[in-house]
Structure 1
């Protein structure tokens, strides 16, 4: 296990809540940046200290090593000058019970900082030119002690997904088509394959936007499925990766939505297909009169497509 220190003031909230790190391959001018290269050295099980606004406020454990990925859309105008392709590392972050201000502990921390590519300067201020810094085991353990040893145990949780759907034959065929499509950039290929089964970058964006099943209210994301609104085979690659083309749903609700047995109006009203037995809804405790939260403007075109498929489904299908 190795220790890492990430400086991400501008993107901290997105990355900690979303459970990932993202960096471009190189600096804006194309120059080599070792702290971006460090993304490729991170391994599952490594620990990451999240530093922003002068303090370490979260600690994470790496769950998936770096893979090529487009820049997260939720960054918005932040990082407009960054390239649109880079590295994505998946990290399970948890907030610290008592945030640590390294500047107040500089006498202890200072001698252990790396000589090159240090995450903070000698005066204790953050180093803006550093994104992901490798730090020594000694410094890593000191930081853990300052933050409270219990923090490490809280990160030793069960796997990220309890619900881990296995791809069916159609999904496997879709993934194969992506893998052999030379027109798809390498940065998109792996994330598209993961998105096909509701995981990876796509899933993280959906969780950031929703965080709970709209129908059941369940908030434990390990039990929820990131479902495409506009089906995979009818969407373009940008739509396949867009978090706005996704809903976080409980498995039984996802089954109904995926097969167009239920759909939603933009204001949140649920529509139930005539061919679906009311007994199913009753046994699954789904109220057909339920009005979920209003959908975002960016989701309306995807919902319109889903309602079109809902309308095309035969009444006796």
Structure 2
């Protein structure tokens, strides 16, 4: 297990709830950036300390390796960053009481590295640092400063995450380029879809926190499902978080195949072509309101109801 420090002053509100880290691949002038290259060094199971507004507000556990990915929806942040970068999936747990490292600098200062330090000797952060590895003595000192909150948060994260499984999924995506059972055009489309899936799910998680039908909120057990199908989307729609829902796998199947849909105000719509016994066997209520959707989701739901949902006849 390695320990990393990430400076999220501009991106905390997106990366922590979205469950990821993202950086450009190079500086704006095309030059190498050590802190961006560190993204490819993060491995499943590594610990990430989230630093924002002079405080360590959360810790995370990496659940996969870096993938080349379009830039997520950071709102007004990162307007000068390249549109392509590295995305690392990381699940975070926020602290109830964030720690201000400057208040503990006497204990931390002796362990600050001479190069690529996340802190100045005064205890102030360094804006130029995005992601840097912590030497073991510094990580140990920082864990001691955080105290019980570190162990309890790590226990919560470890109970949720199967890092090896996430890494298997990454390797599966990498292996797709070697498939010989499909043509080059189909292969390219599958790779593009997989390449965008990480950032798409991150964007969806900024709007959706649970499955609209089952209520499950553990992202490991949910799929980011396009409302307007990927094949029908333009480049913007493919990654738009408002064009997605977090759904349990069986709900995702029904939604993707058009056996269910949603009204704008949240009413669950059930296709007359769906065998009603499926609802009983999968414990899906025949009448259900999933809660209202926002205005941008309405347009995508309108497409789904008109072009995907299986009406009678």
Normalising by structure 2, we get a TM-score of 0.83
CA-CA distance at 1:209 after TM superposition: 1.4
Partner in structure 2 of residue 315 of structure 1? 312
Is it true that 1:159 corresponds to 2:165 in the alignment?
no
Q: 1:117-196, aligned counterparts within 5 Å? A: 117-148=116-147, 150-151=151-152, 152-157=154-159, 158-159=161-162, 177=185, 179-180=187-188, 192-193=193-194
CA-CA distance at 1:314 after TM superposition: 6.4
CA-CA distance at 1:238 after TM superposition: 3.3
3-state SS, counterpart of residue 21 of structure 2 = strand
Bigger shift: 123-132 or 261-270?
A: 261-270
Is it true that 1:227 corresponds to 2:225 in the alignment?
yes
Structure 1 residues not aligned, in runs of 5+: 182-188
How far apart, in 2, do the equivalents of 1:100 and 1:177 lie? 51
Alignment size in residue pairs: 298
How far apart, in 2, do the equivalents of 1:207 and 1:8 lie? 18
Partner in structure 1 of residue 18 of structure 2? 18
Partner in structure 2 of residue 185 of structure 1? none
| Contact 1:192/1:241, CA 8 A, preserved across alignment | no
Distance 1:154 1:248, change over 3 A: closer
3-state SS, counterpart of residue 238 of structure 1 = helix
Q: Per-residue displacement from partner, 1:30-67 (whole Å, max 9, x unpaired)? A: 44322222222222222211111111121112221212
1:270 equivalent among 268, 271, 277: 268
Distance 1:105 1:269, change over 3 A: same
3-state SS, counterpart of residue 281 of structure 1 = helix
Normalising by structure 1, we get a TM-score of 0.82
How far apart, in 1, do the equivalents of 2:311 and 2:157 lie? 48
Q: CA RMSD in A?
A: 2.9
Q: Per-residue displacement from partner, 1:73-131 (whole Å, max 9, x unpaired)? A: 1x011111222211111112222354221101111111211222322222211111111
| Contact 1:119/1:133, CA 8 A, preserved across alignment | yes
| Contact 1:191/1:202, CA 8 A, preserved across alignment | no
Structure 2 residues not aligned, in runs of 5+: 174-178
